[in-house]
Chains A and B, each alone.
Chain A
Amino acid sequence: MSIREDQSRFRDIVRGRIKENFKKYVTHGEMIGKRENDYVKIPVPSIDIPRFKYGPKQRGGVGQGEGKPGDAVGKGQQKPGDGKAGSDPGEHNIEVDVTFDELADILGEELELPRIEPRGTKMLSEKYKYSGLAPVGPDSLRHFKSSYKRALKRYIASGIYDPTDPVIIPIRNDYRYRSFKVSQQPQANAVVIYIMDVSGSMGNEQKEIVRLESFWINAWLKKHYKGLETRFIIHDATAREVDEDTFFRTSESGGTLISSAYRLCREMIERDYPPSEWNIYPFHFSDGDNWSGDDTRLCMKILKNDLIPSVNFFGYGQVESKYGSGQFYKDLEKEFPEDERIVLSKIKNKEAILGSIKEFLGKGR
């Protein structure tokens, strides 16, 4: 039906509009907590054919019903009815329902994120699929159609086929049997460990940024790994594992010992995720204000010896804050000047989130 074409054209246009304004939607706090199949309501600026028409404010109309002059018509700010004059006044925003999944797709397209290659080929799941034919096999798997075809071909080729008496007698050689193929599918086992600094120096705005960014990273990664596991760690002077909900909502304060989080992360990997079988993506967000140089040195040691060798890459995002010195970023830069497995990103403000996501995920590892 041609209406489907028109509809998909329309959807493309909507998608285009969403893309244009994607930055705005990314920073919408309401997005947090949406799952793949959830519908997200997105206000899209008017998709409409512009015409010369009267402005809404001066326009009146004819209505019917009770009421004295001066009484409000309808309830408050309602749209005037669809009389002859009618269409909506004021802002022309339409709300489009998009699945969250689709949004994550658009994020990928917008940032030109590469598809992520699964690590190694160690984790292979074997699948048996009856897809081919073999000259040998049990009778129960005999493929009648192709056996018949072969026999028919043989008859015709040898000139003994008689259309008036089309009897075909197959011989051993004609038989074909269904056979299975083992297809090996790489299975991408991936775990993302989000680590957030919730110390006192991280203000509400900083936390919001971290949440948004980790939320979108999560959305993107979830799309690419079936059964992606996520773990959440928050830390101030001590670190603890929390669930997703807590991670996205909690507010705490205290000192900052980054090493505590790294230690917990290391334990987690050692215990649950052998690096040979897992793609591991830790992301650490902080304002870069560690308590002491000693602790920073400890962090570097853990990173160098334990974390970096076992992960796909380690992402460190530094949020700019009024109080934070941002020293940790410099320390990391100095310690790992040319290590591809560590990705550093500075996030100045909400607008910078998209760019930062690209820095993290743009390499596709």
Chain B
Amino acid sequence: MGHLPYHLEEERKRIWELACAVGLDCYETIFEMVTYDQMNQFAAYGGFPVRYPHWRFGMEYDKLSKSYEYGLSKIYEMVINNDPCYAYLMEGNRTVDQKLVMAHVYGHCDFFKNNKWFEPTDRKMMNTMANHATRIRRYMDRYGVDAVEDFIDKCLSIENLIDRYAPYSPSKVDKRQEKQDQTRKALLKFDREYMDEYVNPDHRHEFEPKEEDDRMAKVPERPERDVLLFLMHHAPLKHWQQDVLSIIRNEAYYFAPQGMTKIMNEGWASYWHSKLMTESIMTDSEVIDYADACAGTLAMSPMGFNPYKIGIELFRNIEERWNKGQFGLEWSQCDDIAEKKAWNTDAGLGREKIFQVRRDYNDVTFIDEFLTEEFCVENKMFVYKFNQRSGRYEVDTRQFPLVKQQLLFQLTNFGQPIIHVENANFNNRGELLLNHLFEGVEIQYNYAQETLKNLFAIWKRPVNLLTVIDEKQKILRHDGTELKTIDVLAESQVKSAEESTGS
């Protein structure tokens, strides 16, 4: 790992100034020169030089190095959302590629710093990750590598069960705090912390009028999306296990905004590298190489949805529309295609608009608001589905509303099933009940089975998942040894039968 060589350092300064001049606002960005092997290593670690030890990183590294060595793939750029930003350039790339990457990286840095969804992320993640690594290594020393790694595996298995929007709604945290404060208020006052127990003994509550029977209160009160947090608070975990779980959760939240803004982030960076490269950075002799590199990253494949391509095109489209005044009530009410095409009020608001978009939107709102039918047609977008009869994936439709719907569906919750904790005392037996909000797509059975098994290991009581299988509501129940599928209907019948005999 090393600093930039002289000629690249000169270029970096120039690109930095150009980026600032067009209005990009970045954290300080530190570029490091790395070999391909280091690049693969960092990429396996998600960009960070130090992570906790886990075989999954080794697997990723193995995959990356093999595919690099066979010439199948190559990582051009990598940048970490941190203050200062860290970015890596690969040794031996052409100068034009390095310049392109630098311009691209500045795009990302600007996005990290200014996009609203990145606001709650830890900007000292480099250090935090290193601390996580130290903590986990310490646990490994004390409790054994296998025990800790095994537990990490289990936590990673439910890593995606977080509430991605929780960091943006402080109300949730506040409410909990408020309730605690309220109960505090009802207590007697004390000056010293240690007096608390004596002044306000636990059994004091017994003499107070009860509003409701606490034991009957449902846990959680409302469905909890942040399954990891719920388990941290309620699962019978040892202290170190709780800490490991919190580390996994913390890292999941850190990476979440990157998933939520993939299209925008890549689109934004690509928009700026192409702007800066073509307008000022590139020399005449580099045009072909640049075009070649661009064609590579922006290529579309029939089954592949390229976030770079969609992102950059949408940003360009927005800029053009706002430059020409193609927005607002009048424009949307206009039904004449020819008129719409020729619409130009010389509003000139394009640049301002895209900066605003990069500040306020995430992929879902971005697509929802700016994907237009014209754009969809122009970019030849379609929906494909798996055809059971022919056993292959086929083009299903090109209708705009359906394309948009499918795209939004894919982006919502990263195209993963939404699952929350419904009840921690299911059947009044301390079993965990998770609810899968069914949206028309069933979950993969064998994966669910393994995941439930892992959940059982954490919860230590049977774990139930309410979901839909073959268009019927079912409960998947894992009791630690095997998975059972229970008909929900049958059970409610049993219940009603019980009730009728009871009365």
**Chain A interface (Cβ < 8 Å from any Cβ of B):** 1-3, 5-13, 47, 49-74, 76-86, 89
CB distance from A64 to the nearest CB of B (A): 4
CB distance from A67 to the nearest CB of B (A): 5
CB distance from B267 to the nearest CB of A (A): 14
> With A and B bound together, what is the CA distance between A53 and B436 in angstroms?
11
**Chain B interface (Cβ < 8 Å from any Cβ of A):** 41, 44-45, 50-51, 53-59, 61-62, 149, 153, 156-161, 262, 300-307, 309, 379-386, 388, 390-398, 403, 406-407, 410-411, 414-417, 419, 436, 440-451, 454, 465
Total A-B contacts with CB atoms under 8 angstroms apart: 208
Please indicate the chain A residues that have their CB under 8 angstroms from the CB of B51 in the complex: 2
The 8 closest A-B pairs by CB, nearest first: A81-B304, A6-B58, A83-B305, A50-B450, A10-B58, A7-B58, A85-B415, A9-B55
| Beta-carbon nearest neighbor of A79 in chain B | B303
> With A and B bound together, what is the CA distance between A281 and B414 in angstroms?
61
Please indicate the chain A residues that have their CB under 8 angstroms from the CB of B159 in the complex: 49, 51
> With A and B bound together, what is the CA distance between A3 and B410 in angstroms?
33
Q: A51-B158, A51-B447, A64-B380 are in contact. Are A11 and B304 (CB under 8 A)?
A: no
> With A and B bound together, what is the CA distance between A60 and B382 in angstroms?
10
The answer to whether B55 touches A74, judged by C-beta atoms less than 8 angstroms apart, is no
Partner of B384, one of A12, A13, A47, A63: A63
Tell me the dominant secondary structure on chain A's binding face. Answer: loop
Please indicate the chain A residues that have their CB under 8 angstroms from the CB of B441 in the complex: 54-55, 58-59
> With A and B bound together, what is the CA distance between A109 and B300 in angstroms?
48
Q: Which of B149, B307, B410, B417 has the most CB of A within 10 A?
A: B410
Partner of A3, one of B44, B386, B442: B44
The answer to whether B386 touches A52, judged by C-beta atoms less than 8 angstroms apart, is no
The answer to whether A83 touches B61, judged by C-beta atoms less than 8 angstroms apart, is no
The answer to whether A49 touches B415, judged by C-beta atoms less than 8 angstroms apart, is no
CB distance from A154 to the nearest CB of B (A): 47
The answer to whether A52 touches B436, judged by C-beta atoms less than 8 angstroms apart, is yes
> With A and B bound together, what is the CA distance between A153 and B306 in angstroms?
74
> With A and B bound together, what is the CA distance between A72 and B450 in angstroms?
33
Please indicate the chain A residues that have their CB under 8 angstroms from the CB of B382 in the complex: 62-65, 67, 69
CB distance from B395 to the nearest CB of A (A): 5
Q: A51-B160, A51-B447, A63-B304 are in contact. Are A1 and B383 (CB under 8 A)?
A: no
> With A and B bound together, what is the CA distance between A46 and B444 in angstroms?
14
Q: A3-B61, A11-B58, A53-B447 are in contact. Are A81 and B156 (CB under 8 A)?
A: no
Q: Which of B41, B55, B159, B449 has the most CB of A within 10 A?
A: B55
CB distance from B15 to the nearest CB of A (A): 30
Partner of B58, one of A3, A49, A50, A52: A3
Partner of A57, one of B44, B386, B436: B386
